[in-house]
Amino acid sequence: MTGTPLRVGVVGVGMMGADHAERVANRVGNAELVAVSDPDTTRAGRLAARFDGVRVIPDPLDLVADPDVDAVLIASPGFAHEEQVLACIAHRKPTLCEKPLTMDAASSLRVLDAERAAGRPLVQVGFMRRFDPEYAGLKRLLDSGELGRTLLLHNIHRNRAVPDPTFRSEMIVRDSLVHEVDVARWVFGEEVSSITVLSPAPTALAAEGVIDPQVAIFHMTGGGIVTTEVFVNSQVGYEVRCEAVAERGSVTVGLGSGVLTRTGGRWGGRVPDDYRERFERAYDLEVQGWVDASRRGEVVGATSWDGYAATAVCTAGMQSLLTGVPVAVDLVDRYERTAGRPAPTTGRPTI
């Protein structure tokens, strides 16, 4: 494949898929958008018409099987992921799958097992915070050891609103909190051993019966603790912050100190409306990283193991949401179940 652009098909062209399609077509190097698929074929047709030579393939599995598609970016709803990712693995096509990898731990394990049977890593999971320059800087500083051991992490994850009435309490865990599960695992380089999800009195502005905000507490295998507030109807905008507390200092990202304006007796900046704006650079780097790695036959960023582990934590989190008590996270053996990655001989695995 060296020298020729990666021919990418995008499955699911709602808000995020359309954003990624435009990114592949116009902003990422060494890639070409060749096909899109969506159950809403009118929406897919409108998007395809914006670019030269992009085909609409109504059935996502046909897009995956198409000989002129080298790699697949999946941005369909989570419930469709398992079948689509398994098809990509069966066709040995590099895949960037938006989070969550699948709907529960058991289905993520089926993906992990299929990838191992294929004999090489093929799946990257769309945890974009890993590619955000601020988050990457936080991780680099903590890993340098300059501040000593990392002890605690505090995350804030707020969306202005979720217009979709089907976005229920469990989805706050599975679709929103899952990002912070990945941050915790990645920053600590450890797994989550237990999760507690607390239910404060909900805002009156969430849909009937939806527990929003939620507060989650993760215990890490090395003894660290992570707290996360997720509030998806905050009415303000997209606010994602993270503060890591180490032995000799703390590191904070996401304060959003961009352009400040003073006018009419007030001063301030902007809160981004949604994740496409806040994480634009991270998405660009993530998709470019995926394209470059796919052309080399490698996977960068979050792997299928990371997708499985995050989903397993959220599966336990959805149980904890019902009771408010801690639920242990039981993972399968990583080195028996992952493709093409030898077991480490010394030290702990790098997540």
Residues that bind ligand ISE (CB under 6 A): 159, 175-176, 179, 232, 275
Spatial separation of the C-alpha atoms in residues 319 and 197, rounded to whole Å: 9
Q: Helices 105-118 & 304-323, crossing angle to 10 degrees?
A: 170
Q: How does DSSP assign 111-165, residue by residue?
A: HHHHHHHHTS--EEE--GGGG-HHHHHHHHHHHHTTT-SEEEEEEEEE-S----T
Residue 201 beta carbon to ligand ISE: minimum distance, rounded to whole angstroms: 20
* CB contact at 8 A, 304 and 121: yes
Q: Using alpha carbons, select from 65, 57, 69 the residue that is nearest to residue 12.
A: 57
Spatial separation of the C-alpha atoms in residues 36 and 15, rounded to whole Å: 14
Query: Is the bond preceding residue 100 a cis peptide, omega within 30 degrees?
Result: yes
Residue 249 beta carbon to ligand ISE: minimum distance, rounded to whole angstroms: 28
Residue 120 beta carbon to ligand ISE: minimum distance, rounded to whole angstroms: 27
Q: Where are the alpha helices (DSSP H) in 4-147?
A: 15-26, 41-48, 60-65, 81-90, 105-118, 133-144
User: In the complex with ligand ISE, which residue's Cβ is closer, 70 or 180?
Assistant: 180
Query: Is the bond preceding residue 77 a cis peptide, omega within 30 degrees?
Result: no
Residue 17 beta carbon to ligand ISE: minimum distance, rounded to whole angstroms: 12
* CB contact at 8 A, 292 and 92: no
User: In the complex with ligand ISE, which residue's Cβ is closer, 243 or 274?
Assistant: 274
Residue 152 beta carbon to ligand ISE: minimum distance, rounded to whole angstroms: 22
Residue at 164: amino acid letter: D
Residue 165 beta carbon to ligand ISE: minimum distance, rounded to whole angstroms: 13
Q: Which residue is nearest to ligand ISE (CB)?
A: 176
User: In the complex with ligand ISE, which residue's Cβ is closer, 138 or 230?
Assistant: 230
Instruction: Quote the distance between the C-alpha of residue 292 and its chain's center.
Output: 19
User: In the complex with ligand ISE, which residue's Cβ is closer, 89 or 232?
Assistant: 232
Helix, strand, coil abundance in the chain, percent, nearest 5: 40, 20, 40
User: In the complex with ligand ISE, which residue's Cβ is closer, 113 or 170?
Assistant: 170
Instruction: Find the helix or strand (DSSP H, E) in which 56 lies.
Output: strand 55-56
Residue 341 beta carbon to ligand ISE: minimum distance, rounded to whole angstroms: 26
3-state DSSP assignment of residue 316: helix
User: In the complex with ligand ISE, which residue's Cβ is closer, 56 or 184?
Assistant: 184
User: In the complex with ligand ISE, which residue's Cβ is closer, 78 or 94?
Assistant: 78
Residue 166 beta carbon to ligand ISE: minimum distance, rounded to whole angstroms: 11
User: In the complex with ligand ISE, which residue's Cβ is closer, 70 or 229?
Assistant: 229
